[in-house]
Every structure is written in structure tokens, then in C-alpha cells.
Amino acid sequence: MASSTGHPGAVSRETYWKRRALVLAAFLAVIAVLAYACSPSAGEEGQQNQAGAGGDTEASPSVPPEEDSEDGNGEEEAEPTEEPSPSEEPSEGAEGAEGGDDENAGGDGGAGGDSDIAAPESAEDPCRPQDVVVSFDFEEKKGEEQQYPAGVDPSFVVEAVNTAEQTCTVDVGPEALEMVVTSGEDSVYSTAHCREGDTSDERRLDQGRTHRYVIDWERERSFSDCRDTTSVAGSGWYHAELGGTYSGGADELRFRVG
């Protein structure tokens, strides 16, 4: 209580310390309020941490690089397709049709069939068609258009070469290696018509050896019924070709007689 002189009277020790405690609590409260007011919010703190770590505040790409579905050209990468299944192996018939069988490969045509002749084991055995190369041409070339004036008979040269290692025999007789002359649909002449006796002409050929011979056509017609009458072929264009087991691949020749 106040004294009679107007000055406050002395306070008790208990009151003194209560006042001190209240002042101290008020001071601490003020400090706490100021600290809270000066501290950054959680969102601002996150932005500051991000800016401090990356150096800038630009947003990162929405799709990570390793998950980018586009390549450098901006085109989507196509997913790899499944590997094709292996094709089926050709059957034996298909393999033979494609020429896979060595024993059936060779001549492009001709009578007799390639399978009828086995691989030769001696010089007397017949050569296989695929081992013999036969060429057919004019004996004397007269330019692209072969023309024979009156009095000049056409002549043709045949060559047969053995390409196998084994020496073997080739029949180049007029029936085994037949020359046929035609004019359109008309069969005019054949070396196989009306032959008597043994018409074979077997030639033993070593590897690389060539047998060459000439066929002359005297412009006469021939007939399979061997009639006694003869007929001379008229002027015009004709074709000559070879037929037989070894004739595959030989050229067809076109010529004119006057």
C-alpha cells in the first residue's frame, strides 16, 4: 500500500517474484510471436529449397527422359514385331521340281527322260544328259538372216562336249539326236525318217572333249511312212532344231531357201 509521503510502499518478496515472472513470460511471448511472424511458410520454404538446389525455378518436364515415347525425329517408335516363324522345308517333290536333285538336273528337254540314265562308272556307259552340252548352229554364218540361194543346200554343225570327270559315251546318231526341219505347222524333214539297220553313232568322250559333225539338208522332204516318191521343198522360210536325250538347250535356227 502507499505510504503517507506519496511513494509506493515496500512489496513483499513473493509479490516481487510474481511480477518478475509475469514480465518474463510476457517477454517470451513477444519473442515467440515475432519468431513465428518472421519464419517462412511451408510452401515458400519448399520453393526456396528447390531454387537453392537447382539454380532456377523452371518446372521439370512432365515425362522423364527414359519414359519419353518419341525418338529424336519426333516419331513414335514402333514396337518390334514378332520374328517370323521358319518356313517349312520343301518336300522331296518340290525339291526335285526346283532342280535340287543333281541327278535330275541338266537337259532342258528331249526324249528319254534324264532319270533313265544312271551316273556312268566306265567309259562304255552312256553319259548323263546334264553332263553333256550340245550346240547347234549353221556351218557357215551368213549374217543374222541365213539365206541360201538356189543350188546351195543348207548345212548345220552339231557339237557335243562331255563336262563330267568320268569318260562316257554319247549317241549322236540320226535317231538319238534327231534334226527336224519345219515350215510353220508343216513337218518337212527329219533325220530319223526311214532309217534301216543300226542307226546309232556312239562316241566316247573324255572330260572336255568335243565331238563335231555336220548335217546337210538337200532340200528334200522326208516321210515317216517311207513312201517311194520324193518331193523337193519349195522356196520360203524354215526352222531347224534338234531333238533327243542330249538336245536340251540347243538353239532353234531360222533360215530361208530360194
Rounded CA separation 213/172 (Å)? 9
- Per domain, the residue ranges of the chain are 13-49, 118-257
Nearest alpha carbon to residue 132 among 239, 200, 204: 204
The distance of Cα 13 from the centroid of its chain, to the nearest Å, equals 113
pLDDT of 41 reads 55
pLDDT score of 40: 60
Give CA–CA dist 160/164, Å, rounded: 12
pLDDT in tens, 204-228: 999 999 999 999 999 999 999 998 8
Q: Indicate if the pLDDT at residue 30 is higher than 60.
A: yes
DSSP 3-state of 53: helix
Residue 110 has pLDDT above 50, yes or no: no
**What distance separates the 2 farthest-apart alpha carbons in the chain?**
187
Residues β-bridged to residue 161: 133, 210
Of 258, 214, 220, give the one whose Cα is nearest residue 237. 258
All cell numbers assigned to 90: 520343301
More confident residue, 188 or 103: 188
**Predicted pLDDT at 162:** 96
The continuous run of DSSP H or E covering 159 comes out as: strand 155-162
Which pLDDT band, with edges at 50, 70 and 90, does 143 fall under?
A: low
Yes or no: is domain 118-257 CATH 2.40.50.100?
no
Could you tell me if 21 and 13 are in contact, meaning their C-beta atoms sit under 8 angstroms apart? no
In the predicted structure, residue 15 carries a pLDDT above the cut 90: no
Query: Can you tell me the distance from the alpha carbon of 29 to that of 220, in angstroms, rounded to the nearest whole number?
Result: 142
Amino acid residing at 210: T
Selected residue with higher pLDDT from 41 and 37: 37
pLDDT digit string, tens, across residues 183-206: 999 999 999 999 988 999 999 999
At 100 the three-state DSSP class reads coil
Give the Cβ contact number of residue 78 at 10 Å.
6
Q: What's the rounded mean pLDDT across residues 44-58?
A: 46
pLDDT above 80 (res 139): yes
For the chain, where are the alpha helices, taking DSSP H only? 13-38, 42-54, 92-97
Confidence of residue 135 (pLDDT cuts 50, 70, 90): very high
